[in-house]
Copies of this chain bind each other. A is one copy, B any other.
Amino acid sequence: MSNASQKDATRLSTTARSLPIALLRVREKVMERFRPMLQRHGVTEQQWRVLRVLAETPDIDMSALAKAANLLPPSLSRMTRGLEERRLIITARAAGDGRRTSLRLSESGAALITKVAPESSAISSEIEATVGRDQIQNLIDQLETVLDALENAKA
């Protein structure tokens, strides 16, 4: 009965709507725990995703970065302008292809990662402790299964 108080606002006919809403709510509750920390460090959730990808994959181009960080190219274009002005990243035309932009972390960008990453991990651990490690692994597994099913559906 832990969720009895939610039921009033939650009851909306079809399962159609339930899955998107359920995903939205859980995501929000999870991100709620990360946001204050990211804000203290002056980065948004999306900027943090981009920086993390760059930490693991230097000299990636815009398209691949957008895909890896789950952002649309226009959002990434706007964002990288700001990140470069703040000297957190460095951009350059790609070697063999004049259309591509190659991105990497600056030293201060890398320093930011070093500062924030442990705090991020700590929050994740808290969440695992709260929800249960198995619950979460299980949920992630199912999410991946559903994702695969949706991606391989066109056939």
Contact = CB atoms under 8 A, between A and B. Distances in A.
A137 to B, nearest CB: 7
Contact of A121 (B14, B20, B124, B145): B14
A79 interface: no
A135 B145 contact: yes
Interface stretch (A62-70, A80-88, A91-99): A62-70
Interface residues of A, number: 63
Interface in A96-126: 120-121, 123-125
A17 B140 contact: no
A90 interface: no
22 contacts: A2-B152, A3-B144, A12-B52, A12-B56, A15-B128, A19-B124, A19-B127, A19-B136, A21-B70, A22-B139, A22-B143, A23-B27, A26-B146, A26-B147, A27-B27, A127-B150, A130-B149, A131-B146, A135-B146, A135-B149, A139-B139, A139-B143
